[in-house]
A and B are shown apart, each in its own frame.
Chain A
Amino acid sequence: NAGVTQTPKFQVLKTGQSMTLQCAQDMNHEYMSWYRQDPGMGLRLIHYSVGAGITDQGEVPNGYNVSRSTTEDFPLRLLSAAPSQTSVYFCASSFGLAGSDTQYFGPGTRLTVL
């Protein structure tokens, strides 16, 4: 099992550009989520999905879109990049929604917006 994979690992964008961060998992997990980590801080939830075709907003959703057409994939789209979106982005997945379900993280994408 590859676990949770993310591409790209690094990305530099200019203000106003759009791009998609890719996330895939091969563990047949229903729950997937995107977090961002700003310097010196913990992670904050952007969007999440409880299954294919179902997505919802997290704590900091503005400026981001998601879709979940398959169980395996959960891409994050930046609509019009802003310097405030410079961050490290983590995708995570878990089997379910229970408090006991461990979330496993991808390696992260380091995004810089100039």
Chain B
Amino acid sequence: AQKITQTQPGMFVQEKEAVTLDCTYDTSDQSYGLFWYKQPSSGEMIFLIYQGSYDEQNATEGRYSLNFQKARKSANLVISASQLGDSAMYFCAMREREETSGSRLTFGEGTQLTVNP
């Protein structure tokens, strides 16, 4: 079963507008972490934001915020005031502590965001 689902292969947004990238996850663990990474065309993986399963407040990092709805198992990334440099692939990932996998990150398939001028 897919553990991380990103249903939007591609998204478009106008510069200076906000955009939400969807992510749903599946786990039976009580303790886990949710992460968003940005991968620009240059290829590196850049950590953006983290949300812990026990955190009651939604995480924020500058223009990035994570809309965490635990009961729905969703962890959507919101980018406010989009910039041209935000054009990239965005990956949602989950980290569970599993004895058999050494607490690996499980990634979704990504959403390609394009910011239009």
Interface residues of A (CB under 8 A from B): 31, 33, 35, 40-45, 48-50, 56, 58-59, 88, 90, 92, 97-105, 107-108, 110
Contacts and interface: CB of A to CB of B under 8 A. Distances in A.
Contacts of A42: 4, 91, 93, 107-110
Interface residues of B, number: 29
Given A42-B108, A101-B33, 5 more contacts: A43-B45, A98-B97, A99-B29, A99-B32, A99-B52
Contacts of A44: 107
B85 interface: no
Nearest to B39: A37
9 contacts: A42-B4, A43-B45, A43-B105, A48-B102, A58-B101, A58-B102, A104-B47, A105-B44, A108-B45
B103 A97 contact: yes
Given A42-B4, A45-B101, A99 B96 contact: yes
Nearest to B102: A48
Contacts, number: 83
A48 B45 contact: no
B43 A108 contact: yes
B109 A41 contact: yes
Contacts of A56: 102
Nearest to B108: A42
B52 A100 contact: yes
A79 to B, nearest CB: 22
B51 to A, nearest CB: 9
Interface of B: 4, 29, 31-33, 35, 37, 43-47, 50, 52-53, 91, 93, 95-97, 101-105, 107-110
A73 B71 CA distance: 40
A45 B33 contact: no
A107 to B, nearest CB: 5
Contacts of B43: 88, 107-108, 110
B26 to A, nearest CB: 15
B108 A101 contact: no
Contacts of A59: 101, 104
Given A88-B43, A97-B97, A102-B47, A31 B103 contact: yes
